[in-house]
Amino acid sequence: MKNAMRTISLRNLSAHKLRLALTLLAVILGTAFIAGSNMLSASMNNAFTDITTSTYESIDLQASPKDKMSLGIPLSVRDELRANPDIVAVDVEGLNPSIVVAGPDGKALQSGGAPSLALSQAPDGSTVGNITTLTEGSIPTEPGTAAINSGAAEKAGIKLGDDITMVSATSRDTYRVVGIYDTDMEVGGFVGLVIPESDYLKSFTDGQHLSGMPIDVKGDVAAAQATLEAKYPDLKFETGTALAEKANKEIKDSLAFMNYFLWAFAAIALLVGSFIISNTFSMIISQRLKEFALLRSLGASRSQITTAVVFEAAIVGLIGSALGILAGMGITKAIYAVMEAQDLGMPDAGLSLDTASIVAPIVVGVLVTVFSAWAPARRAGRVHPVQAMRSGDQSSSNSLTVRTIIGAVFMLAGAAAALYAGLNSDMGDTKTRAITVGVATFAVILGLWLAGPALSIPIVGSIGRVVGLPFGNVGKLASTNSRRNPRRTAATAFALTLGLTMVSAIGMMGATMRDNVDDLIDTTFTADYMLRAPATMGMPIPLTVPERVTHIDGVEAATALYLAPVTINKPPATAFNDMIGAIEGDPAKAMTLDMESGDSNLEGREGAILDSNLATEHGVQVGDTITLFSFSGEQTQAPVTGIFKPNPSIGTAILSMESVSRIVPEQRLRLLNVIIDAKDGADLQQLRTDLEDEVSGDLTVMVLDREDVKGEVGKQITMMLNILYALLALSVIIAVLGIMNTLALSVSERRQEIGMLRAVGMQRSQVSRMIHLEAIVIALYGAVVGSLIGLGLGWAFIKSLSDMGLTTISVPWLQVGVVVLASGLVGLIAALMPARGAARTQPLEAIEE
C-alpha cells in the first residue's frame, strides 16, 4: 500500500502542472536567495583572498606599534632599519592615506567601493614586495611626481606627463604623472597613487611617526623577526603570511553583511511563501476529498494519507530547492553585473559552489514546505470516508469561534503592549520600549493570522459592495464569492497584509524622521551656508578650507567644526572609538544654542561647553575643570565655560580647538563641516558662486544652503528606506503569486458553478470580470488591514524612540493611499491567468463533470 500511495502522489503532482508550478515558485524564491547569498559570499571571499594573499605574502615582515594608543613608530626606527645590512627594503605607512584624485580635466575619479589610496615610494627606488609592475615611464622619486595604476589611468584618460590633483584630509597637491603600473590590488575602481616618500610623510604623518612599515629581509624571515623583536620591544613584527590570514578573516567577516542582507530576502520569501504553500495544500486537500475517501475505503489508513500529502510536499520542496539553486546562480551573476555597472570595486572570480550553497537551500526548502503542508496533511488524514464523499468544500463550514477568540486575545494583548510602550516614556530605556513594541508586533500579526477569517467577513463584504457597485450583478456576484470562504480569503490576502503592514510602518518612520530633521535644521541652522563632503565619499574636508574661505568677500565668519579623538574624564577604551566635536569660534553663530549658564564662545581660549545631561553625569558646572584624554594617552585640563540644553544636532559636548590642539595632532582631526555666516547685506547668490569657485578644486567639498542640507539628510534616509522597501517588495511579488495560485485553484474548484453561469447566459467577458473583481477585493482587503495595522504599530514604535528626538509623528497619507490603490492593481495582475482560464470554461463540459 505504501508503494501505491507513493505512486498516486507522484501521478497527482504530474497531473496538475500549473498547480505544481505555482507552488514551486514560492519555494524557489526563498531558496534562490539562500543559495545566492552563499555563492556570492564564497565567490567574493575567494577573490579577495587571492588578492590579499598575493599582496601580503610578498612582504616578509610588517612593523607596527604594540600599543595601539601610541603616536606610532618614530622615524628614527625607519632610518635604523634601512641602515641594517640584513634588510633589503623598508616602506612607510601613514595614517588615513585615503585620497581623491582628479584627472587632467579636473574631474574626480570615482572609485566606487574600491580603495583610493596614496602609496609611498622610497628615495632609493626600492619597493617592498612585488605587487606592482611598472609598465610605462619611471619610478616617482622626485617631489611633485607620481605613478598611477593602469586601471585608473585608462578610466580617466591619464597619460605620462599629465598633471593630476590629489586631495587628502590635510591638503590639495598637484603631481606630474611619470609612471603607470599594474598591481595585484587592481579591483573595480581602485585608485593607487604612488608619490615620493617626502611628499607622503608631509601629507599623511605628523612628520615624526609612522603607523607601520613593510619590510623585506635577507635570509631567514623567522630569525630576522626574532632579532628585530628583541631590539625593538615596543614594536611587533608580523609575517606576511600571518597578515594574509588576518586580512582574509576580516574580509570574510566584512562580507557577512551581504550574506545577512540576502538571507533577509530569503527569510521574507520563505515566511510569506509558507503561508501560500499552506493555503495551497489546504485548497488541494479540499478538492481531493473524494479521492481521499476512495483511498480510505480501499484500506488506506489515516497515517498513510497524511504521509502521502507530506511526501508530495517533500517532492515539491526538493524540486523547488533544486531550481532555487539554479536561480541563485542567476541572482549571483546579476549582482556581479550590477556591481560592475556601478563600478563598486568588487572582484569577480566566477561562481564558487561550496557545500553550504547546495545543502542549505535544499534542507531549508524541504523543511519549510513540509512544515507548511503539515497541518493540511493532518486534516486530510482525519477525513472520514463517508463525510468526504459529500460534494463541496467542507473547510468553510467549520466553526471560526475558537481561532477567532485566540486571535483576538493576541491582537488585543499586542495592541495594549504597543500602546503602553508608546505612551509611557518612563517604561525603562529606549531599547526596552522598542523591544516591547517588537514583541507586540509579533503578537498582533499572529493574532491577525488567527482572527483574519472572522475579520474578513465584514471588511471584505464592505469593500466588495463598493468595488462591485459599478458592475451590477457581476459585481454583486464577485462580492459574494470573495466573502464566501473567509478562511481562503484571509489566507490569500495575508501575504499582502504582512507586506503592507511593514511598508506602512516603515513609511511612517521615514516620513517622521525626515520631517523631524527638517524641523531641527530649521530651528538650529542659523548660518547662510555649510561646506561639507558628500556622505558617500568617506573623505573629510581638507584642513586648509576654513582659512581660504574666510578671505572671500561677503564672509563674516567661517566656523570650522572638527571631530577629535578625545574622551572626557576617562581614557578612551580603543583608538578612535570616541569622537567629540571641536570648534574654533562661537558655535552660536552657526546654530541655535539654548544656554542654561555660561558662555558659548570658544574662540581663542581653552574650554568646553557641555549639555546639561553630560554636565550632571560628570557633576560639573561652569567654572569647573574637566580632563581631556587623547587616543595616545595624553591629557590636558579644560575649563567648563558653558552649559546648554540638550540638542541632538549638536552632540553632548563641544571643545575649543585651543584645548584639543594640546593633545591631538592636526593629522588626527577630521574636518566635518565649515559653517559660513554672511555679512549683512551681502549678495548670497554671488557669495555661493564665490564659495563654489574657491572649493571646486578640493573635489570633496559641497556648498549647501539650508534646503540643500535637508535634501542631503533626506537622501540618506531615503537610501536606508529603499533597502527596506526592496526587502518588502519581495513579499508583494509572492503575494501576487499567492493570489494567482488561490484564484487558479478556486476556478478549478468552481468549474461546475462557472459552467452553470455560462449556461444561463453569462458572457466570457463577464466571467473574466468577476474573477478580476474578486482578486481586487481580496487585494484591497489585505492592503487596508495591513496599512491600518502598520500605521498603528509604526506610531507605537516612533513614540518608543521619542528620546532620540522624534517628537513629531508624520503620517504619509499620500503614500499609504497610493499603496492601497496599487494593491488593487496587484490583484488585477494576479487575476489575469485565472480569469482567462475561467472565461474559457465550456458550459456543457463543466456541468457534466
Q: How confident is the model at residue 121 (pLDDT cuts 50, 70, 90)?
A: very high
pLDDT of residue 18: 62
pLDDT of residue 641: 93
Which residue reads 564672509 in cell numbers? Answer: 555
Question: Is the per-residue pLDDT at 146 higher than 60?
Answer: yes
pLDDT of residue 393: 47
CA distances from 663 to 472, 485, 563, 587, 610 (A): 82, 74, 14, 22, 19
Window from 92-106, 107-121, 659-673 with minimum mean pLDDT: 107-121
Residue 762 half-sphere exposure toward CB, CA atoms < 13 A: 26
* Model pLDDT for residues 784-807, shown as the tens digit of each residue: 998 999 999 888 888 887 766 677
Q: How confident is the model at residue 389 (pLDDT cuts 50, 70, 90)?
A: low
Strand-pairing partners, residue 525, are: 591
Angle among Cα 731, 740, 459 to the nearest 5 degrees reads: 75
Question: Is the per-residue pLDDT at 188 higher than 90?
Answer: no
pTM of the model: 0.67
pLDDT of residue 452: 87
Residue with more model confidence, 302 or 80:
80
Residue with more model confidence, 737 or 91:
91
Contact indicator for 128, 110 with CB cutoff of 8 Å? no
pLDDT of residue 140: 94
Residues 6 or more apart whose Cβ sits within 8 Å of residue 548: 694, 695
pLDDT of residue 396: 47
The b/e string for 499-509 (b: 16+ C-beta within 10 A; e otherwise) is bbbbbbbbbbb
pLDDT of residue 22: 66
pLDDT of residue 797: 86
CA 716 to chain CA centroid, nearest Å = 12
List, in sequence order, every beta strand (DSSP E) within 493-584: 529-532, 555-564, 566-568, 580-583
d(CA 676, CA 682): 12
* Model pLDDT for residues 560-596, shown as the tens digit of each residue: 888 888 888 887 765 555 688 898 888 887 777 888 9
Residue ranges of alpha helices (H) inside 72-149 are: 75-83
Q: Among residues 697, 568, 559, which one has the least CA distance to residue 639?
A: 568
* Model pLDDT for residues 751-788, shown as the tens digit of each residue: 778 888 888 888 888 888 898 898 899 889 988 998 99
> Residue 612, by phi and psi: left (phi above 0), alpha (psi -120 to 50) or beta?
alpha
Question: Is the per-residue pLDDT at 17 higher than 70?
Answer: no
Contact indicator for 732, 826 with CB cutoff of 8 Å? yes
Residue with more model confidence, 508 or 428:
508
Residue ranges of alpha helices (H) inside 104-162 are: 150-156
Q: Among residues 409, 434, 426, 500, which one has the least CA distance to residue 778?
A: 500
Question: Is the per-residue pLDDT at 388 higher than 70?
Answer: no
CA distances from 224 to 216, 221, 229, 603, 675 (A): 10, 5, 9, 52, 53
Q: What letter does residue 212 receive in the DSSP assignment?
A: B
Domain ranges (residues) in the chain: 1-63+256-398, 64-251, 455-524+707-849, 525-706
Phi, psi of 829 (to 5 degrees): -65, -45
d(CA 450, CA 442): 12
pLDDT of residue 90: 92
Average pLDDT value for the chain: 81
Phi, psi of 219 (to 5 degrees): 70, -145
Mean pLDDT (whole number) for 615-627: 91
Among 7-11, 39-43, 463-467, 524-528, top mean pLDDT goes to 463-467
pLDDT of residue 11: 66
Strand-pairing partners, residue 146, are: 177
Which amino acid is residue 78, in one-letter code?
R
Strand-pairing partners, residue 100, are: 167
Over pLDDT 90: what percentage of the chain?
Answer: 16
| All cell numbers assigned to 46 | 575567494
List, in sequence order, every beta strand (DSSP E) within 429-554: 529-532
pLDDT of residue 505: 86
pLDDT of residue 54: 67
Q: How confident is the model at residue 266 (pLDDT cuts 50, 70, 90)?
A: low
pLDDT of residue 162: 93
d(CA 273, CA 267): 9
Residue with more model confidence, 334 or 18:
334
pLDDT of residue 395: 47
Q: How confident is the model at residue 507 (pLDDT cuts 50, 70, 90)?
A: confident
Q: Among residues 294, 729, 263, 295, which one has the least CA distance to residue 503?
A: 729
pLDDT of residue 155: 84
